[in-house]
Amino acid sequence: MGRLLFTAILSFTVAGTIAGDQPVEPGELPTVLVSRQLRELQKIAVGDVVLLSSDPSGADPRRFRVAGEYEPTPDPMRLGLARHEVRLHLPDVIGMTTNPSDPLRLESVDAVNVGLGAGVDPDAFARDISRRLPGTVVQPTAGDNGRAAPFVVLERFHLAIAVVTVIASSIFLLALMLMLVDERRATVGILRLIGFGRRRILLHVLAEGLVIAAAGAAFGLALSAGLEDLINRFFQWRYDTALVFVHITPAIALQSVLISVPLGMLATLVSSSTLLGRDVLSLLRR
């Protein structure tokens, strides 16, 4: 027996399954959809009849025919949890969960989702509803106010890691460029002797830095795009989910280029300025 969830609020128990080719009582049975994980676990096929009960003990089950399967909506908050779920028609849910002794069981609701049109102020709408229906709690589900606190903390943590990584890599790049420039000291001295000015040499160095930085950014983007599918497939297999873990968008690629290319050129400029400021004889070690 396994647990079934409906809209992450209601739970049902699989009381059993009946093969689709076995006879059932006359009349059209209500249909349900089962999650892919539940179908694979219980070996359920489309057309089978399943017994569902709202009682954890499986008492008083009702029969439903499986109309198909679905992939549960990926939810990072439920990563790693088995999604053994079913989707029922609303009248069937009400019939299985309401209290028969309550005369308003078919007229009561706990929550209502409202979609606002373009240009409607959510705060003004919330104030208007609270004034018209005292005691009603109005809470946004979209935007920064509706984001879960763990994801806000996680986003800030990723931002902090990104800042530290960029700073550390920039320092390493600057040290590497200083070593490379020092090795070309004799070449720069010869160029100065044959009449090349500091400005012309500096422009050449900047152009070289631009090409190297652009090539490095292109290689990084190509590597990320190549590993994107592999990373997603591995973690989707590991956690049995359709959640996308890595997605390289054009905005992310553009942001990476706008950060990496100027930093590469800046490192080239800083490392070359110390060399171009010397006189010709010191460059040639004379």
CA–CA separation, 242 and 240 (whole Å): 7
In a domain, 269, yes or no: yes
In a domain, 252, yes or no: yes
pLDDT attached to residue 53: 81
Q: What is the pLDDT of residues 55-89, one digit of tens each?
A: 777 777 888 999 988 888 887 777 777 788 888 88
- Is the same domain home to 153 and 262? yes
- Is the same domain home to 279 and 160? yes
Structural contact between residues 209 and 264, judged by C-beta atoms closer than 8 angstroms: yes
- Is the same domain home to 166 and 139? no
Q: What is the CA angle 281-283-286, rounded to 5?
A: 40
- Is the same domain home to 209 and 117? no
Band (233; pLDDT cuts 50, 70, 90) = very high
Q: Does the pTM of the predicted model rise above 0.75?
A: no
Q: What is the pLDDT of residues 119-156, one digit of tens each?
A: 888 888 888 888 888 888 887 776 555 455 666 777 88
- Is the same domain home to 134 and 251? no
CA–CA separation, 219 and 225 (whole Å): 10
In a domain, 129, yes or no: yes
As a whole number, mean pLDDT of residues 174-191 equals 72
Looking at residue 56, what DSSP letter applies? T
- Is the same domain home to 139 and 34? no
Structural contact between residues 40 and 33, judged by C-beta atoms closer than 8 angstroms: no
Pairing of strands 31-35, 62-70: parallel
In a domain, 103, yes or no: no
- Is the same domain home to 62 and 162? no
In a domain, 50, yes or no: yes
pLDDT value at 2 more than 60: no
Structural contact between residues 267 and 173, judged by C-beta atoms closer than 8 angstroms: yes
Q: Which domain holds residue 21?
A: 3-97
- Is the same domain home to 161 and 195? yes
Q: How many domains does the chain have?
A: 3
pLDDT attached to residue 234: 93
The percent of the chain in helix, strand and coil, each rounded to the nearest 5, is 50, 15, 35
Question: What burial class does residue 195 get, using C-beta atoms within 10 Å of its C-beta: 0-12 exposed, 13-18 middle, 19+ buried?
Answer: exposed
Q: What is the pLDDT of residues 184-219, one digit of tens each?
A: 766 666 766 777 777 777 787 788 888 888 888 899
Average pLDDT of the chain to the nearest whole number: 77
Task: Assign residue 91 the CATH number of its domain.
Answer: 2.40.40
pLDDT attached to residue 10: 41
- Is the same domain home to 90 and 121? no
Q: Which two tokens stand for residue 253?
A: 């690629």
- Is the same domain home to 263 and 171? yes
- Is the same domain home to 24 and 124? no
- Is the same domain home to 73 and 122? no
In a domain, 44, yes or no: yes
Q: What is the pLDDT of residues 3-59, one digit of tens each?
A: 343 333 344 555 555 544 445 454 588 889 988 888 888 888 888 888 888 777 777
In a domain, 104, yes or no: no
Q: Where are the strands (E) in the chain, listed by range?
A: 3-6, 10-18, 31-35, 49-53, 62-70, 86-88
In a domain, 105, yes or no: no
